[in-house]
Structure formats: structure tokens, C-alpha cells
Structure 1
Amino acid sequence: MMVEQRAAVIERFREGKEKVLVTTNVCARGIDVEQVSVVINFDLPVDKDGNPDNETYLHRIGRTGRFGKRGLAVNMVDSKHSMNILNRIQEHFNKKIERLDTDDLDEIEKIAN
């Protein structure tokens, strides 16, 4: 996507004309959109050696819950390797990351609100 196109899409998202924004790490830094309430990490960020990229993780999840509002970060984990990466991120930040039972829609709704 060209820079101009990307800027136009982000502006539409800021204006509330778009409800979902799918991005790469390019958007993890420097975008401040007040209404972002949920960030979903489809893949956990890793460096070129396959180690957790803690700085990128922080920038990604930092897009939600800004300006004194609550936010939710969801990490998709589909393997032992991904779980290991998530555990290492959790240890780095000394912050417990809660497991979400995806079969319990009431729990998901409770966390989201």
C-alpha cells in the first residue's frame, strides 16, 4: 500500500468511518487513535533470531487503552513455540497475561467491557 493510501485509511479509522484496522508493525509506532479499545496480535513479535521482540510487543499493545481509557490486548497462541514466546514476554514485563477461554463467550464479553 502506498504511503498516501495508508494515510487515508488511517484517517478514515480515526474519523470512525472504519471500525477495524488490520496493520503490520509499521503502524505499531506513532499512531495515536483515541477510540482503539482492542488490539489483537495474530502473531507475537519476534526478532530475526526468533526471540521475543519485547519493544515491538509494547508498542503494539500500547495502541489500546490510551488517554485514560480501558483497553484489551488479545494474543493468538497456536503452538508450544508461541506459548514459550508469550511466557518470555510475560516474564520480561513481570506482568501476568491471563488465559482467555475462547469457548466462554460470557467471559470474553466481561473482559471486553
Structure 2
Amino acid sequence: MAWLFLVVAGILEMFGVTMINKLNKDRNWQAFCLLLLGFGGSFIFLALAMESLPMGTAYAVWTGIGASGGAILGMLLYGEPRNWKRIVFIVMILGAAVGLKAIA
């Protein structure tokens, strides 16, 4: 269950990062509330995951999901560059997260 909590925390982290971008563009209270909801939920699920996962593993996987997911969303939604080098490094981040799960 802890790994499911960790994945949910990472997805909510991606949502929170997307809401930062939306807030910068729209400057409205709805985007701000969604930002707080995304990051707040992310921290709650991270804390739940850390009840049974080692802190270093949980934090590394959480940031990996958030960083790679944020980069992917930036490419898909906001026209950020999609060159092969970026994709290779995103795959490396995700591979490291999978590796940490494999040894945990």
C-alpha cells in the first residue's frame, strides 16, 4: 500500500507543479486553491508512504516522479523542447526510481 501512496503523492506533485504554471498565467484564486490542494495532498500521501518505506527511498522516488512528470507535462502541454537528450534523462530518472523500488 505504501508504494501506491507514493505513486499518488508523485502524481499530486505533478498536478501541483502544473498549477504553479497555471497560476503564473491566470492569477486567479481557483488556480491557487488547486495548487494548495495538489501539494497538500502530495505531502499527506508522502507521509503515509514513509510510515513503512525508508525516508531516502520514498523521497527519491517522489521527487523522481514529480521531476520527470513535470518535464513530460511541460513537453505535452506547454511546448517545451522534446529533444532526445531530455527524453534520455527522464528515462534515467524513472529507471533510478524503479531501481530504488527493486532494492527496497
Whether TM-score is above 0.5 comes out as: no
- Higher gyration radius (CA): 1
TM-score, structure 1 length as denominator? Answer: 0.34
Bigger relative CO (Cα 8 Å, ≥ 6 apart): 2
TM-score, structure 2 length as denominator? Answer: 0.36
